[in-house]
Amino acid sequence: MFGLFKKKTALEKHQDLYKKLMEDAYKLQSINRSESDQKYLEADIVLKKIKDLQAQKIDEAV
């Protein structure tokens, strides 16, 4: 109940997006390989953003 109005951080949003893209890519893998590859590429870009956000979070803590 207390987390009901809690906003997601940018890191959490990117992690959710990455998970969704990976699931979509997996589902498309047997149906349409080129679309699956495109989803994996998008997921890789999001993963790089996640790593950048994590690095910024570590830098802020130091």
User: CB count, 10 Å around CB of 46?
Assistant: 20
DSSP string, 3-28: TTTPPPPHHHHHHHHHHHHHHHHHHH
Q: Please tell me the predicted confidence (pLDDT) of residue 34.
A: 96
The pTM for the full model equals 0.85
Per-residue pLDDT of the chain (62 residues; tens, 9 = 90+): 566 778 889 999 999 999 999 999 999 999 999 999 999 999 999 999 999 999 998 887 77
Please tell me the distance from the alpha carbon of residue 5 to that of residue 60, in angstroms, as a whole number.
25
